[in-house]
Copies of this chain bind each other. A is one copy, B any other.
Amino acid sequence: MYKDYQEFTKLNLKLDMSRGKPSPEQLDLALPLLNEAGISDQIKSSGTDCRNYGIQLGLPEVREFFASLLEVPKNQIVVDGSSSLALMHDVIAFALLYGTPGNSSWRSDKPISFLCPVPGYDRHFSILEAFGIKMINVPLLEDGPDMDVVESLVAKDDSIKGMWCVPKYSNPTGAVYSEEVVNRLASMNVAADDFRIFWDDAYHFHHLTEERIAIPNIIDICQAAGNSDRAIVFASTSKMTFAGSGLAMLASSVANVDWWQKCVSVRTIGPDKLNQLRHLLFFQNSVSVDSLMDQHRAILKPKFDIVDSVFEEYLGKIEGVSWSKPLGGYFIDLITPPGLAKRTIELAKNAGIILTPAGATFPYGLDPEDKHIRIAPSYPSLEEIKLAAEGVSLSLLQAIEEK
């Protein structure tokens, strides 16, 4: 244990923990994906030469594979590109430019807004900020967004057109939506006909414990509630194979998928089907997907554990300090006494540790109490993580002392 912050800064570290990037060891797990042995004999899928144009919604076998994994009907899923963020962006852009099925453009009349459970994912907020869509904070509790707040807002305000949800192992707190929350989201009364839930299922397969937590399928539940077009589910293999070179998918009602196809058919002649085929050959089946994710867990879990134990050692008895203990996902939310997150991040930076900027997990970068620090333990090595957790702890202690 280091004596204090000053002693720690003498290490002259250079660590970047600002983003939830997979580590090199995790990326190595997907190296067989690069071994194309055999793919040239299998470039035809369903009679389609995957090297040529077409197949707008993705290869049928690949759609079927991910439909089965995500438990959605195979005709209600699209596999397109490598970035689920791009799919979310484009859904919003299409709604702004064209409107949703049966509704006018989101920008046709008055300013629109989105509900943003906080703390949340900074890139979700960046899209809305860029498009000039007003963001309304909603507290994220341990079992999902505060539904009393959500219900009362959407019931009366038809300018609220959407809501972000990271339903499992939420970024950054690790919150897992309860069955009750999912049911209430699906069935609540909403003033805007074209209200959409952006269900970013980013960490569906990214468990940190042996329990593979499953939450109710939002698409089925929305349909049962008579709101079948309400939810759009997004997922990707970015943190299963290669970040940036994986597959991204979107699932929703038949009407929403038809709408998506109509919008996107103007944009491209079809996705990269060879990468889809490559992934199908690599993933094989759900058992091997589980096995792959177990290997990811084996790499990630010790990193989360070391952060937790260092925080416990340095911060466990400090009043007003707490942190999340996620059962999956990529982040830990460190909560400081009010007004100290920014200063702690600054001190950590001076000690050579780059953290996600203060406020990043809130719309407009404004954490109203300045107390959330997002810790991303995935990329650095175990030794580096330990050092970083120590440095963050010492920085926080120093910030408390300064105050």
Contact = CB atoms under 8 A, between A and B. Distances in A.
A53 B243 contact: yes
Contacts of A275: 245, 272, 275
Interface stretch (A35-43, A197-205, A349-357): A35-43
B126 A266 contact: yes
A196 interface: no
A117 to B, nearest CB: 20
A34 B40 contact: yes
Given A39-B34, A130-B98, A244 B54 contact: yes
A39 B33 CA distance: 11
A245 B86 CA distance: 18
A171 interface: no
B86 A267 contact: yes
Given A267-B89, A268-B86, A243 B40 contact: no
B30 A51 contact: yes
Interface in A95-110: 96-98
So how many copies of this chain end up in the complex?
2
A371 to B, nearest CB: 27
Interface in A75-92: 81-83, 85-86, 89-90
Interface in A39-78: 39-40, 43, 49-54
Nearest to A22: B52
Interface string A163-203: 00000000000000000000000000000000000000000
Interface string A247-274: 0000000000000000100111111111
A19 interface: yes
Contact of A52 (B51, B89, B93, B244): B244
Given A51-B242, A82-B268, A97-B131, 17 more contacts: A24-B49, A27-B52, A31-B40, A34-B40, A34-B43, A34-B274, A35-B40, A50-B245, A52-B243, A85-B267, A85-B268, A85-B269, A86-B267, A86-B268, A123-B269, A130-B266, A272-B275
9 contacts: A36-B36, A50-B244, A52-B242, A82-B271, A86-B268, A96-B97, A242-B274, A244-B271, A245-B273
A112 interface: no
Contacts of A123: 266, 269
Nearest to A246: B272
Contacts of A242: 51-52, 274
Contact of A269 (B81, B83, B273): B83
A50 B30 CA distance: 13
A43 B52 CA distance: 26
A333 B31 CA distance: 47
A225 B176 CA distance: 59
- Residue of A19, A40, A244, A268 ringed by the most chain B CB atoms within 10 A: A244
A376 to B, nearest CB: 12
A21 interface: yes
Contact of A272 (B52, B98, B244): B244
Nearest to A94: B93
A127 interface: yes
- Residue of A49, A86, A90, A267 ringed by the most chain B CB atoms within 10 A: A267
Interface string A116-141: 00000001001100110000000000
Contact of A243 (B85, B127, B267, B269): B269
Contacts of A269: 83, 85, 123, 243-244
Given A34-B40, A266-B89, A267-B89, A51 B273 contact: no
B243 A272 contact: no
A108 to B, nearest CB: 11
